[in-house]
Amino acid sequence: MSLIHTCYRILDIDRSVAFYEALGFEERRRVPIRDEATNVFMSLPDDGPEPRLELTHNHGRSEPYEIGTGYGHIAITTSDLDGTLARLKEQQIEPERPPYTIRDGGNRLCFVRDPDGYRIELIERGA
């Protein structure tokens, strides 16, 4: 078995796709589900053939989804956290708090939220 993707329910396809593109994701395909929904599959450039993120837009829904207390976050690595945050700031995407480490000598990290409130952890790792 292998994990192939994570799915989020979203309210606005264009806004969500723009957010994830700002993080470096690429849209791979859109798949309509009858007249009920549209799935947008996205991946990072080095993910291979399987998309890693499925964004599901249920047509006609305008109320935000409840994320719940069980959801934590997804994590993405970057070799330059400061550069990544500078690029995100140009698109009005700000971290929840400045980058920090959990332990001495640990990787720097911070969190951002997507347009629907899902948390994304950005972890700085060497190239």
- 77-96: per-residue pLDDT in tens? 999 999 999 999 999 999 99
Query: What is this structure's pTM?
Result: 0.88
Q: How far apart are CA 77 and CA 40, in angstroms?
A: 22
Q: Check: CB of residue 86 under 8 Å from CB of residue 99.
A: no
Q: Tell the burial category of 122 from Cβ atoms under 10 Å away from its Cβ (0-12, 13-18, 19+).
A: buried
Which one is catalytic: 50, 94, 121, 124?
121
Confidence grade of residue 4 (pLDDT, cut at 50, 70, 90) = confident
Domains of the chain: 1-63 (3.10.180.10), 72-127 (3.10.180.10)
Is 121 labeled as catalytic in the residue annotation?
yes
- Percent of the chain residues past pLDDT 90, beyond the cut: 82
